[in-house]
Amino acid sequence: MKKILFIAGARPNFMKISALTRAASLYRDKVQIGIIHTGQHYDDGLSEVFFREFKMPRPLANLGIGSGGRKEQIGKALKLLSAYMRTMRPDLIVVVGDVNSTLAGALAGASENIPVAHVEAGLRSFNWKMPEEANRVMTDHLSDLLFVTEESAINNLKAEGISEEKIFFTGNVMIDTLLHFGSLADKSDVLIKNSLTPKNYALLTLHRTENVSDGKCLEELLFAMNEIHKSIPIICPLHPRTEKALKDFNLTANFNILGPQSYLDFMSLQKNAEFVLTDSGGIQEEATIFNVPCITLREETERPITCELGTNEVVGRDREKIFEAVGRVLNGEWKKREGEIRGWDGNAGERTMNIIVKLLSC
């Protein structure tokens, strides 16, 4: 029996690990799986709630690294994960996405000489100011198996000299989770609780360091959001980082603020929104599948397929550009998704685990 350890740490990891552990359960006669939670996200609303909703296996351990900045998070997680790997000796470590815990997992694997698989490999924003971009690049170069969600990722990895033999196009595991739990989200009462009617509000998420850690930038974005709210209600589940930034910079949001939402409630809010305003990576992909217009409040995206075939447009942070984009949505001039996206079909986890199990059995 081969042992696989999945490393999870922050909110966007849990949707991906959920799909992979569901798929791994099909191979329970061949592989034994476990989850290690680094504890990067520790609030119930950013972590525990997802284990409950997805009915995921409980983590074998929570390393409790907590917050404290990038260097501290990566350093603590690397030390504790390495110690865990030395005792556990898994046959493979699986890391997902681009958070600090992802990189720490890949570093621990490399330092303990344990093969690493990276799921959602090869995405590039080419913006080195984003901690996530550095995490993506370093994780990919430390990994032995790279599972990609879109064509651009293959080109990026090849351009960086990564051998084609390590790269597998298996699709998007986050979309597996969306399709798996989609009908449950329809039962959520989040719209009623917040007095919202479908297609009559905009959903906003904002948490990227480059958007919220700079007071001028956050002020500009907030001005734009407060103006848009006069035409259509904006609802915003607030990330703790943004909540703190609003206080620190003494800025006021006139739109509706909620705490972090559970997955099913957030899916319901997203699916029923007239449009989404976001700086998140995953939401650009989810909005594309829901066929909901997505205005990305960043200067670039590492997920170009969402712009080429999906409902996403990278609009930036300039208020006039944001108003122009919102105007087009409200006039019904926004694009729809162009057909299906390869590999975003609900079976990416199975394809990924199939390859992993085959390679581990050799």
Q: How far apart, in whole angstroms, are the C-alpha atoms of residue 80 and residue 74?
A: 10
Q: How far is CA 297 from CA 126, 210, 316, in A?
A: 16, 11, 5
CB of 134 to ligand UD1, least distance (A): 9
Based on the shown chain and the rule CB under 6 A, indicate whether residue 207 belongs to the binding site for ligand UD1.
Answer: yes
Our CB check for ligand UD1 shows the closer of 10 and 196 to be 10
Strands lying side by side in the sheet with 2-8: 61-62, 31-37, 2-8, 92-96, 116-119, 145-148, 167-169
Q: How far apart, in whole angstroms, are the C-alpha atoms of residue 339 and residue 214?
A: 38
- Binding-residue pattern over the window 80 to 99 for ligand UD1, x denoting contact by CB under 6 A: ------------------xx
Based on the shown chain and the rule CB under 6 A, indicate whether residue 131 belongs to the binding site for ligand UD1.
Answer: yes
Angle between helix axes 348-361 and 173-185 (nearest 10 degrees) is 140
Based on the shown chain and the rule CB under 6 A, indicate whether residue 279 belongs to the binding site for ligand UD1.
Answer: no
Most distant CA pair in the chain, distance:
61
How many positions of this chain bind ligand UD1 (CB under 6 A)? 20
Our CB check for ligand UD1 shows the closer of 24 and 65 to be 65
DSSP state of 25: G
CB of 11 to ligand UD1, least distance (A): 4
CB of 141 to ligand UD1, least distance (A): 17
Based on the shown chain and the rule CB under 6 A, indicate whether residue 229 belongs to the binding site for ligand UD1.
Answer: no
Give catalytic status of residue 207 as yes or no: yes
Based on the shown chain and the rule CB under 6 A, indicate whether residue 249 belongs to the binding site for ligand UD1.
Answer: no
Our CB check for ligand UD1 shows the closer of 274 and 302 to be 302
Based on the shown chain and the rule CB under 6 A, indicate whether residue 133 belongs to the binding site for ligand UD1.
Answer: no
Catalytic-labelled residue, pool 118, 207, 229, 239: 207
Our CB check for ligand UD1 shows the closer of 129 and 187 to be 129
Based on the shown chain and the rule CB under 6 A, indicate whether residue 274 belongs to the binding site for ligand UD1.
Answer: no
Q: How far apart, in whole angstroms, are the C-alpha atoms of residue 112 and residue 8?
A: 18
Q: Decide if 138 contacts 170 (C-beta within 8 A).
A: no
Phi–psi pair at 282, nearest 5 degrees: -60, -35
Closest CA to 173 of 106, 114, 118: 118
Residues that bind ligand UD1 (CB under 6 A): 10-12, 40-43, 46, 67, 98-100, 131-132, 207, 239-241, 244, 280
Catalytic residues: 207
